[in-house]
Structure 1
Amino acid sequence: MDKRENGMAADQIAGARWQKARASDAKNDCVEVARLSENEFAVRNSRYPDGPALIYTKGEWDAFTDGAGKGEFSNMAV
């Protein structure tokens, strides 16, 4: 397995299959997610597909998605 690090170029993550939400707009303004392995996830900005990606462990990803599902980040919406 290649070493993956936060901030590495998203296009350098071998085998990443990026997925975005169906709610994405026509301008491609969306956050995209890729499951890299059983224990790693990556996130990138779809407007900059070759830009940096953030890499998360399964535990980090689970904590974030749990909080998002419970509305814990709703106060950040404008």
Structure 2
Amino acid sequence: MITVINGTPGSQIIGARWTKASASDAIGDCVELARVNETEVAVRNSRFPDGPALVFTRSEFVAFLDGANRGEFNAMTV
């Protein structure tokens, strides 16, 4: 299994297939995700592909998505 730690440059995560969020735009508001291995997901800012990626366990990411779907983070965007 590939081991990746937080802060690893996104472009150096071997085998990562980055998926850009559909809400990303040409101005540079871009977020990308990649499955690192069977248990982890990485997130990066695609404007800086060599910048650090944040790595979350699958269960952490599922908890985040659940909170986002429930609107728990909506206050972050106003």
- Structure-2-length-normalised TM-score: 0.91
Look up the match of 1:13: 13
d(CA) in 2 for partners of 1:73 and 1:47? 23
Judge conservation of contact 2:31–2:44 (CA < 8 Å) in 1. Answer: yes
1:20, CA displacement in angstroms?
1.3
Partner SS, residue 56 of structure 1? strand
RMSD (CA atoms): 1.1
Divergent runs of 4+, >6 A = none
1:3, CA displacement in angstroms?
2.5
Alignment of 1:1-78 (within 5 A): 1-78=1-78
Gaps of 5+ in 2: none
Identity %: 60
- Structure-1-length-normalised TM-score: 0.91
* Residue-pair matches, total: 78
Q: Deviations over 1:35-76 (max 9, x none)?
A: 122211000011111100011101100000000011000000
